[in-house]
Amino acid sequence: MNILITGGAGFIGSAVIRHIIKNTHHSVLNVDNLTYAGNLESIKDIESSACYMFEKVDICNRVELERVFNAFKPDAVMHLAAESHVDRSIDGPSDFIQTNIIGTFTLLEVARSYWSKLSNQKKSIFRFHHISTDEVYGDLEGTDDLFTEQTSYEPSSPYSASKASSDHLVRAWNRTYGLPVIVTNCSNNYGPYHFPEKLIPHIILNALSAKSLPVYGDGSQIRDWLYVEDHARALYKVVTEGVVGETYNIGGHNEKKNIEVVETLCALLDEYAPISGNPAFSSSSRLTHYKDLITFVTDRPGHDVRYAIDASKIKRELGWVPEESFETGIRKTVEWYLNNENWWKRVLTGEYQLERIGDQ
């Protein structure tokens, strides 16, 4: 099976590629434009595999996409390429419109043209799997409500609105043209190789550097946390076993307030890397616990209060459940960042970016 993965140098995409290469015999083509969050070092341990290939291609470039499709001849597309940071979308929404909407449209059109020319047998196998987010659903009012696959879309940010738009395009290409699509919407991911601007790695790395730990508002916003390797397993199961035209919500069953997440990270860092032995703190520092660095800052505009996923459908129909609890997953995550200082320092300093630009 040939699987074309867009955004495979990103956080979730790289986890999917690592999972497929390490656990199957499928061939994978990673199509990524290597924007600021794309990092091929996240898949360094599998890049020498004969089953792995890489193409630096912008998904808005139809000519290049057509070349890639015709050469690789995919049996499935897993579309993860996206701009995904809410704060960045508020500051500059145009990149999100371009990549998440125009890019998805271009990819759909190339996939439709390619699929329409396949033999009937190849057509029956082909899948276009669109990976999306729970943020398209907007806000949950009550404490017991959950996002289901039937929840109406009410996106709050330019990011979530652009992802909602791409979801609608994908479903329209199924209904109008018959393209065999599957959509998944996931909760907040965390784990190894997470780009440092996101909450969990940002808090870990700021704490280790003796910097303030910014928390929006009072930190009461609730998110459902999903360990990225659990998500990768779910996505592979969906693309190989999911039903065409269906949507599957993927969640970690781990609802936590943002302040709880930050305090948990601080406690784990107290355990693994106590302030007393951290050279980033001056000898005159009176701080004894990382939680003393927590600083509450002005809330984000339009900040959703609560997300929570009902993942009963994927459990019932495909047999997937997360293997990691939040407690086990967050501990693994902290350990990974402590043991992979070279990776995140190269990202933070821009060293990897500079090397990559020099190689082009």
Q: What residues are labeled active site?
A: 134-135, 159
Residue among 320, 348, 201, 343 at smallest CA distance from 269: 201
Write phi, then psi, for 246 (nearest 5 degrees).
-90, 160
SS3 label, residue 260 = helix
Question: What value does the CA radius of gyration of the chain take, rounded to a whole number of Å?
Answer: 20
What is the Cα–Cα distance from 122 to 322, expressed in whole angstroms? 32
Rounded distance between C-alpha atoms, residue 259 and residue 326, angstroms:
14
Report H helices in the chain. 11-23, 62-72, 86-91, 94-96, 104-116, 120-125, 158-177, 199-208, 228-241, 258-272, 312-318, 326-339, 341-349, 351-359
Neighbours of 93 (CB within 10 A): 16
